[in-house]
Structure 1
Amino acid sequence: MLANEKAVNQGVAPVTYGQGERPPRGDYASARADYACDQNWSAYTAQEHDLYRRLYERQASQLEGLACDEFIEAVQHLGAPHQIPRFDELSETLRRATRWEVVAVPGLIPEEAFFALLAKRKFPVTGWIRKPEEFEYVVEPDVFHDLFGHVPLLFNPMFADYMQAYGAGGLKASRLDACELLARLYWYTVEFGLIDTPRGLRAYGAGILSSAGELRHSVCSPQPSRVAFDLQRIMRTRYKIDSYQATYFVIESFQQLFEATSPDFTPIYRSVRELPQIDAGAVLPGERQYAASC
């Protein structure tokens, strides 16, 4: 959900939409100062609800044996898959579980706005859904990716706390000119993270869980590198945005993830800047590797 600030409209007066109207895709004029906007659920068409249903059912059918148990148990909180959830109703359930809520946004938002929402336990969810011709792949995160991929694990208390801590850390990183390093942490955990379980590797990253092809690829394919979680290693590692990942990082538990990312990152940023960057897919001497689990 991050975007460079140049990628969104700024300094535009807010536009008010009437009952039953929904801002068009990427209409940042509809956003308030924090980039949140109204979902206007009644404006979704029957075709859009049906597209969401088909996306949901396709991904849900693949979860067993590939997604972590925490995600499989929590995805039911999204409600019946036959329609796009109402954000206000979903937020009521989420607040009772972990004190989080979801807020609608027009699309990708600036880093500081994104971090600020997370720090307040508010997860930004894109209001629009992809077009039918984008069923297999959409360039920007849409409502399906954000809801199906990200929201279920916010019902997990440990992961929910990690996300808030990440937001607070992001606000500090923006003052230290370290957002690129922190973005790599988000990419390799929240979006494309794997977790080791007694039954083998499982996916917990939203980019994996909402992708028809990458879910099986990340767990089963012999091609990518699967490296044990290491904070500095992650911050040094480049990533791919236009293909399946060449490297996945594996945590042992959400507790490990939270504890590893809770200290002050200031000295870590200094240390990482003194080391060379690592290409996606590279394997360093002596580091722990995980085999495919299928």
Structure 2
Amino acid sequence: MTEHAPQAVVTAGTGGIGLETALGLARRGWDVTLVGRDPARGEAAVARVDEAAGRGAGRFVRAELSSLAETRQLGERLAGEGPLNLLVNNVGGMWTERWVSPEGVEASIALNHLSPYVLTEALLDALAAGAPSRIVNVTSSAIAAAQTVFADAEPPGPHYGLAATGRAKLAHLAHSMELAERLRPRGISVLAADPGAAATDNAAAMTIDILPPALRPHWEQILKGVSAPVASASKGPLTAATDPALDGSTGLVLGPDGTVDDTLLAFVTPELTQAVRRWTAELMATAARAS
């Protein structure tokens, strides 16, 4: 890695959209820390990043990001290494079957909202030291399927993976917009990027049961959507991370084509933001008691 190259961290960076984003950063002269669970995948991903950069630009750091304790430890480790110019919170996913994190939090909430929340907070001083810097939070059009109820940890009724992930992504989008205003004075921009549907490993594991019943007639159309090349899905995150035209901008959402798109912000209201703030605090307290 090069001492004077800009420094980036990409979570879930050993495959899929995260790896494609890391490759794009490497081609643009960045040093990239790839965070993931599997050392073998990490080693292979670093080799691809180094090849894309034509030098030693990548490294792998192992962390189980469904664990908020491990996520916090990761943040403390990375923060101790000095200034950071870019954090791409790409970790997330959706699953047909409900499962829970080590702290007992439903996995969609843990990985799509709480984990990036914890990691970001741990890295704020490092990002401020590297300012002007950016945080890119990968969002999703699954927000349109969300139940916008945040009175309890999970909404009542059956668990449907698409709706659960959409709700967690909506919570994190609301948090991102609030965070953008909080960090503006510190020279840290906060941008959200919707990569669109793509043929990721996570998408390949989906079954029709992931959909609420009302959406199941659209299953074939959804499958067609997630057959798009993963490389094309990195355009939104990469643009949010590197486009000079966005210098000084914050609180924006970029669509899959890399242009500003306010569609998902229509779901974010002041009342919802307030509910998410309270809900997040309650979840963090519950997770702390369980750890």
How high is the TM-score relative to the length of structure 1?
0.30
How high is the TM-score relative to the length of structure 2?
0.30
* Structure number with larger C-alpha Rg: 1
